[in-house]
Amino acid sequence: MALKLGDLPNELLIKIFHRNRLSNDDMCTVARTCKHFSKVVIPLIYSNVKVKRRANDERTFGLIQSITDNPSRAELILKLSFSWSNNGTTFREDQERIVQFLLRRTTRLQILKLKVITLSQYAMPFPVVSGAFLHVNPMTALRRVEVAYVNITWETLGKFLLLPQMSAVFFTPMDQDPDRIDEHLPQRPADRQSRIEYLAIEGHPKSVQHVHELLRWSDNLRALLFDFGSYTTLNINGPSTLQKFLAPISQTLFFLDLQGCHTDDFHCATVDFSNFPVLKTLGISQSLLFPTFFEQDGEYSVEPYTRNGLYLRLPKKLEDLTVFFDFGSAILDHQYHTIRHNFVNEEYDWIEELAIFKPDFLPNLKRVRFTEHSDANRESHDVMQLRPWSTPKAVKTLFETRDINLKVLIRSYSVLRNGLSDANGAENVVNFSQRRLLELDV
């Protein structure tokens, strides 16, 4: 007798009816075919739920009704995503009720995503999602949270980090109004540490103290991505140096990406990464790495000291190094100033040192990338707006010999020459170093 589809074991039916093969509508159709298929497919349908709000969404209300009629189906949801369009204008009171309804019932939830899409302009205020659901649902299985352009309170964020299975949190807050977002972390029990391994936060000045406290909660943080924003106010209760800010995680961190700038009081340049024993990937803003002072409300940066000796401050196990140079700074000239010193006097000894001293100080170094902000967009590192540096032959040969991939991207500078604007490219404003000129003569 011929084998029927329904005769196959459930393990095979799960693979056949998986959402990678069928659309959600098709899976719902299969579930209505018979009780056997319904038993197989319904857990697949509910395992990954996406609540999208562009207008009135009948599917969302159908989901709410289904869980209301069958409460056990909420326990099937392992991954839950919410998204709101039009800069969050579709997030209204009914949406907060929907979020709370689902999050109070999804006791086996593993991954949670909250985001606002269609960011054509930053319309304030952005949605704030209450953490009230955590008072009802312990969320003991939750291990990953992604929040983008939706605000949650610092108390909620802290509670997320203290969940028993939490390993990754990605948080991009958009609203900096303390009247809408409280500035208090929850009280951490003395016997509880965070198990977080990956933490990414786009911050603002008021968040530095809180993030530092969150770092102290973790005893196994492996990757940190943090944007200081414009750190213009030094909080006396927060860390006074970048070294102290990173100290709680220096022994476990293998990936670090730090962006933003700081005040002269926050001594970023004293940071020494050589005591980070397992750090392999470092991406950092120039103003956080080199001694930098800011003029005219932080628009122009000034580096009073040479960059030589950078290799001494890098971790022994470093494999990848990326440094982003803010608008108003230059890779090839630490004294570059967009007003007073707008020509670039080429200097690259500090770059060359990375290859020269690799055997003794950076034996694992494989990739080095330096890139500037483009003139076209101060907030962007768009490669299309940048040009590769014409690397001197001696430097190129040295890096190739040391098996290091070197990439240096510089902006197409626009300067005034004899009262006229000249934007013909970097070659017109870079004064070659004496070493390069000697190389050219040969």
- Which helix (H) or strand (E) segment holds residue 300: the answer is strand 300-302
pLDDT value at position 254? Answer: 97
pLDDT at 442: 43
Indicate whether 378 pLDDT > 50: no
Span 295-304, average pLDDT: 59
Q: What are the start-end ranges of the E strands in 66-124?
A: 79-84, 111-116
Whether the bond into 125 is cis, omega within 30 of 0:
yes
pLDDT at 301: 60
Q: What's the pLDDT score for residue 339?
A: 65
**CA torsion 32→34→37→42, rounded to 10°?**
40
CB 76 within 8 Å of CB 109: no
* Confidence category of residue 298, pLDDT binned at 50, 70, 90: low
Residue 243 to residues 86, 267, 273: CA-CA distances in angstroms?
Answer: 40, 8, 9
The fraction of the chain above a pLDDT of 70, given in percent, is 68
Least confident of 131-140, 156-165, 317-326, 333-342: 333-342
Confidence band of 418 (pLDDT split at 50, 70, 90): very low
Residue 310 has pLDDT above 50, yes or no: yes
Three-class SS state of 408: strand
Contact call for residues 217 and 186 (beta carbons, < 8 A)? no
Q: What ranges make up the beta strands (E) of 139-217?
A: 144-148, 168-172, 198-202
Q: Are 102 and 74 in contact (CB under 8 A)?
A: yes
Query: Strand, helix or coil at 385?
Result: helix
Higher pLDDT, 155 or 253: 253
Range name among 17-26, 81-90, 231-240 with the lowest pLDDT average: 231-240
Q: Which of 30, 60, 61, 33 is nearest to 45 (CA)?
A: 30
pLDDT at 109: 95
What's the CA gap between 231 and 224, in Å, rounded? 18
The pLDDT of residue 279 is above 90: yes
Distance CA 358, CA 404 (A): 9
Helix (H) or strand (E) holding 161: helix 154-161
Question: d(Cα 191, Cα 293) in Å, to the nearest integer?
Answer: 42
> Residue 394 and residue 203: Cα distance in Å, rounded?
41
> pLDDT band at 97, cuts 50/70/90?
confident
Task: Sort strands 367-372 and 320-325 into parallel, antiparallel or unpaired.
Answer: parallel
Q: Is the per-residue pLDDT at 295 higher than 80?
A: no
What is the per-residue pLDDT for 237?
65
Q: Which residue has the higher pLDDT, 146 or 325?
A: 146
User: Of the ranges 28-32, 75-79, 377-381, which one carries the lowest mean pLDDT score?
Assistant: 377-381
pLDDT computed for residue 374 by the predictor: 55
Calculate mean pLDDT across residues 70-86: 88
Mean pLDDT of 400-411: 93
Asked whether the predicted pLDDT for residue 424 surpasses 50, the reply is no
Please, which residues have CB within 8 angstroms of residue 79's CB and are 6 or more apart in sequence? 47, 48, 49, 109, 110, 111, 112, 113
Tell me what pLDDT residue 260 has: 79
Calpha distance 374→77 (Å, rounded): 44
What burial class does residue 216 get, using C-beta atoms within 10 Å of its C-beta: 0-12 exposed, 13-18 middle, 19+ buried? middle
d(C-alpha 442, C-alpha 438), whole Å: 6
The model's pLDDT over 249-274, given as tens digits with 9 standing for 90+, comes to: 999 999 999 987 765 555 555 789 99
Mean residue pLDDT across the chain? 79
pLDDT per residue as tens digits for the range 193-217: 899 999 998 765 557 788 889 999 9
C-beta of residue 164 within 8 angstroms of C-beta of residue 132: no
- What is the per-residue pLDDT across 32-67, written as a single tens digit (0 to 9) for each? 677 777 777 778 888 888 888 765 567 788 888 889
Q: Please return the burial class of 368, using the count of CB atoms within 10 Å of its CB with bins 0-12, 13-18 and 19+.
A: buried
400 has a pLDDT exceeding 60: yes
Does an H or E element contain 94, and which? helix 93-103
Residue 76 has pLDDT above 50, yes or no: yes
**pTM of the entire structure?**
0.84
Quote the pLDDT of residue 401.
Answer: 96
Residue with tokens 């200081």: 228
Tokens 């958009």 locate to 174
Model confidence at 311, pLDDT cuts 50, 70, 90, reads: very high
pLDDT, one tens digit per residue, over 230-244 is 655 555 567 778 888
